[in-house]
Amino acid sequence: MTKQDRVINYLSKGRTLSQHSAATMFDVGNLRATMSDIKPIVHNKGFVVTRKTGRNGETRYGLTKNRRSKKAVS
């Protein structure tokens, strides 16, 4: 299982990741680049990448279900 697969699996359970937690848990050196790489993969699975600021000012990434139907997207 690749680092990207592990990140997708973790985030698809409704959790969020910061750079520090991604580095600690999955040995991801650049979470921003990883999220950019997995964006098309998770989009095909019906998710959208979200980015929020955590309590301590860190950037946190997560996934939410895409509410748009695929027919509506032109």
Domain ranges of the chain: 3-65
* The pLDDT of residue 69 is above 70: no
Alpha helices in the chain (DSSP H): 3-11, 19-26, 31-44
Topology (CATH level 3) of domain 3-65: Aspartate Aminotransferase, domain 1 (3.90.1150)
- When pLDDT is cut at 50, 70 and 90, the band that residue 16 belongs to is very high
Q: What is the mean pLDDT of the chain?
A: 91
pTM above 0.85, yes or no: no
* The pLDDT of residue 60 is above 70: yes
Nearest of 22, 26, 3 to residue 60 by alpha carbon: 22
* The pLDDT of residue 72 is above 80: no
- Please give the single-letter amino acid code of residue 67: R
Query: What pLDDT, on a 0 to 100 scale, did the predictor assign at position 25?
Result: 96
